[in-house]
Amino acid sequence: MRERTLLLVDDEVEFVQTLAERLQLRGFQVYIAHDGDEALIQLEKSRFDMVILDVMMPGLGGLDVLKQMKPIYPETPVILLTGRGSTNDGIEGMRLGARDYLMKPINIDELIKKIGENLNAT
């Protein structure tokens, strides 16, 4: 089975790098984008098996990225990360086409479980 590619988008450098490393340890090929624009550029360059998208980012937010990529890459599953402790962003995201959402700080096992569920679905 080929390595699954994930695009991890978050403006918090420490967070995104550490999480990327932990996902790599679990056998994923992880690409990083630090903001919405960078994420869209990366999405243009290559295809990913899944995008993990932070909602709260300066500039282009997670939900904006979701809105822009969904018509172009409707097949790519998206999982949202929200830091506001509210289910609203998650629900709004799912309405826009995200597969699922998680609240930060995240539990890695939960994330792996959700990734597994949504990758199998494709």
Partner 1 sequence: MAESRWWQYFKPNIFDPGEDLQSTDRYRLLRRNIVVLMMLVTIIPLTLMAVINYHQYRSSLTDEIINPMRLLTSKTKHSFELFLEEKLSTVRFITSAYPVETLANEKNLNRIFRVLKKEFGGFVDLGLIDCKGIQVSYAGPYDLLAKDYSDQAWYHEVTIRGTYVSDVFMGYRNFPHIAIAVQLGNEECDNWVLRATIDTSLFDNLIAAMGLDAESDAFLINDKGVFQTNSKFYGKVLEKCPFLPPPGNYGIHIEEEMDPKGREVIVVYTHLENFCCNLVMVKPKSVVLKTWFTLKSEMFFIFIIGTIFILLTIFKMTGVLVKKTRDADERRELAFRELEHAHKLSSIGRLAAGVAHEINNPLAVINEKAGLMKDLLERAEPFDKKEKFMEVTASIQKSVERCKTITHRLLGFARRMEVQFELLDVNDVIREVLGFLEKEYLYRGIEIRLELDENLPQISSDLGQLQQVFLNILTNSFSAVEDNGLVIIRTWEEDPETLGVSIEDNGCGMSKETLDQIFEPFFTTKKGYGTGLGLAITYGIVQKLGGRLKVESQEGEGTIFYVFLRKAPPSNTGELR
Which residues sit at the interface with partner 1, rule CB under 8 A?
A: 12, 14-15, 18-19, 21-22, 25, 83-86, 88, 103-106, 108
CA nearest neighbour of 77 among 61, 57, 93: 93
Which helix (H) or strand (E) segment holds residue 5: the answer is strand 4-9
* Token pair 């699954």: residue: 4
Q: Is 88 helix (H, G, I), strand (E, B) or coil?
A: helix
Nearer to partner 1 (CB atom), residue 68 or residue 83: 83
Q: Which residues contact 67 (CB under 8 A, 6 or more apart)?
A: 96
CB of 84 to partner 1, least distance (A): 6
Q: Is 26 helix (H, G, I), strand (E, B) or coil?
A: coil
CB of 75 to partner 1, least distance (A): 29
Nearer to partner 1 (CB atom), residue 12 or residue 37: 12
DSSP 122: -
CB of 57 to partner 1, least distance (A): 11
Nearer to partner 1 (CB atom), residue 43 or residue 101: 101
Nearer to partner 1 (CB atom), residue 72 or residue 108: 108
